[in-house]
Amino acid sequence: MHCPRCRGLMLRDEFLDLADEAGQCRFVAWRCLICGEVLDPLIAKHRRSPPEPMVDRARLPHKVHYLSGVRKGGKVVHHA
């Protein structure tokens, strides 16, 4: 198998997840010998179908405030 990031050689490796609620969780995944990319079935699934963007958390565009007049020679000239 070749790495999707660098096209290097990937080998099956066993990993230990310490963040699991039970304390430990072992899983097998592919690891690239060149760049260290890790690819397991869950990562591959998420890459095939990325989540929809969270529209309600998107940044709103800033309001643009236009100047009502331009200062020329100490006087404000208003444009209509």
CA end-to-end span of the chain: 67
SS3 42: helix
- Confirm whether 24 is domain-assigned: yes
* Residue 55 within any structural domain of the chain: no
Q: Which domain holds residue 12?
A: 1-49
Domain for residue 39, yes or no?
yes
**Can you give the pLDDT at residue 35?**
96
Residue 70 lies in a domain: no
Within a domain: residue 15?
yes
Residue 73 within a domain: no
**pTM assigned to the model:** 0.54
Tell me the mean pLDDT per 10 residues along the chain, length 80: 94 83 80 95 86 70 59 58
Total domains, the chain: 1
Residue 58, pLDDT score: 62
Is 12 inside a domain boundary? yes
pLDDT of residue 26: 83
- pLDDT score recorded for residue 9: 97
Which tens digits make up the pLDDT trace of 46-69? 888 877 777 776 666 666 555 555
